[in-house]
Structure 1
Amino acid sequence: MSKILIVEDEPRIASFLSKGLEASGFSTLAVDSGQSAIYLANSDDFDLLILDLGLPDQDGLSVLEHIRGQGETIPVIILTVYDDLRHKLQGLNGGADDYVTKPFQLEELIARIQVQLRKKAQASKPAQLTLEVGDIVLDLRQRQVRKAGQLIELSTREFTLLELFMRRHQEAISRAELLSEVWGYDYDESSNVVDVYVGYLRKKLGARAIETVRGFGYRFRL
């Protein structure tokens, strides 16, 4: 079970996060100060940190700077009311892995947490040079895809989306998670860009390669 450290000084939000994440299978601990965050982040007991910027004892960005300055690689998701570009750039350039603004949807936050936890797990594994599902072979080093031996031309986004599908073959993946993983931290969750790119892949790989999971997302089925 992944353990998440929540650094949030608003009791109502901290309670909401703890209950919501624990209902989704995570273990949590909530603290309300930057000093506690620094101490606990250095303990290696946590898999991910959710960090508010407006803390009572010190700015969240200084907390992040201290954690990264100590060489800690724990994934950090900033969760804050500051939605301006300056704060986003400061947070991401300061070492945050993602940036979410309040008000937020818990489902989206969980998707972003899962993305970061998978990245952490993959980083600890030996590098895999090829992925193979059915008659599709994806070469990560050459950035090439072949189907039944035939080279398939894919754009960068198509390649990244296909890689995600192949790594999680037969698993249903939500649109929110696909957006976060392939298009990054700053996107419009109402966008149909995922559906458009799934359409591109279906044309190149076959209509039955990717199954629609109605009301949720998609599943790679080859």
Structure 2
Amino acid sequence: MYRYEDQKEMRMAMNGKMIVMLAGVFLILTAVTSTLLQGMQYFIVGHSAGAGDAEAIKLVESTGLSIGQLYSVGVAYMIVTVAEIMTGIISAKFSNRLDKVKICLYADIILMVVMILQQSYMMLLARMFNPFALVAGILMPLLLLWGITRLMKLAKKYPDRMYAVEPNPARGGRKAAPQKQNIMEKAKARVRDEEKVAQVVDELPDANEEE
């Protein structure tokens, strides 16, 4: 089991792991409860306007966008949704893995690039750029990046180390339980075999009696 040189590195490992894991979970929740719903709204409005709904047509005209452009904005939101979910899953899964921290970094960078491109597209399309939405959207990836940098420092110093924080030995005990069970089963089987052998020996006629 690897150990850090001081308590500062241990705190860095624990904080980095916790931040990366929580940021990953938050990204998944944000993607499902916010980004996905916003994208669906654009699809719903575009579909309703295409079907001839008067209110939807007025709403589309007020935005200055065509139905096709509304669909394209919805697609942009869906792409961000996928990027958020994938980054969240990767971050939550590898939050305690120093040997996989670069994967989290690449996923986070891709997410931030996708978010910036989405806001840039909306600004060029109909001046729908929202700086507050961009800042709010990038805030969590930036927090994730900060946690990743903590883990990368440790990964650089301890290149042979796999985990940021060593797993709980109790969890290892769960994995070892089947092995113990197999040993017990083998022991019981051996006892049963010995009992059968003893029974066979008892049933054999005594050599002295035959004589």
Taking structure 1 as the reference length, the TM-score comes to 0.28
Larger proportion of strand: 1
Question: Which structure is richer in relative contact order (CA contacts within 8 A, separation 6 or more)?
Answer: 2
- Richer in helix (by share): 2
What TM-score, normalized by structure 2, do the two folds share?
A: 0.29
Larger radius of gyration: 2
